[in-house]
Structure 1
Amino acid sequence: MLKKNFPAEVKEENGKLTLSYGAFSRLAVWVDKKKMCVDSESGKGAADDVILDTNRRYRVFLEEATGYTAKERLAKAKKDVQGA
């Protein structure tokens, strides 16, 4: 799904899939205990259109990868925090 949503080279580093695209200087995705984890680093000075494109692609990727909309992911995150 990373390759589908981000036209960039995807590398594997220590069990994490990583790429650099648009406003992301680095995006890493991995699975830990059946949960998808994401770590991102934003580059500085990206143009507004690049930021908007990167953000749109990221939202689509997250929805396709998890099967949940942004609203549903927020509700699950809140539930996980309250249960911890």
Structure 2
Amino acid sequence: MREYRFKRGYKPIEDRLEELIKKHFGEFEKDGNVYVVRYGAMEELRLWIENKKLYVETKTNPNVSDDVAIRTIKVYNKFLEELTGYTAKERAKMMKKEVESE
């Protein structure tokens, strides 16, 4: 499970989450407060907002082509950047800091 913070000015609300899921991935299912997406190389992407943070669980399909995997990563990164305000590079840097501080 991954945990993402929101940059100042980016609201951690379900309406935005739902809107951006539709924009980037198309369809989704809702299981309580958890949004479930199936897209490209992701068999299942589970997203929810709790305590002003985004939580994500992913289950990937290892049997997809490289093209599908690359396209899936690009769409996922664009989605996260638009939702949280942090680029992939900034998110990686924050995760690295968290790991080092443990």
**Same fold? TM cut 0.5:** yes
CA RMSD of aligned residues (A): 1.5
Aligned residue number for residue 4 of structure 1: 23
1:29 aligns with 2:29: no
Aligned residue number for residue 20 of structure 1: 38
**Which aligned runs of 4 or more in structure 1 are off by greater than 2 angstroms?**
74-82
Q: Could you tell me how far apart the structure 2 residues matched to 1:4 and 1:30 are?
A: 17
SS at structure 2 position matched to 1:53: helix
Identity of aligned residues (%): 39
Number of aligned pairs? 82
How far off is 1:74 after superposition? 2.6
Q: Using CA pairs under 8 Å that are at least 6 residues apart, name the structure with larger relative contact order, 1 or 2.
A: 2
Q: Could you tell me how far apart the structure 2 residues matched to 1:44 and 1:33 are?
A: 32
Unmatched 5+ stretches in structure 2: 1-19
Unmatched 5+ stretches in structure 1: none
TM-score scaled by length of structure 1: 0.85
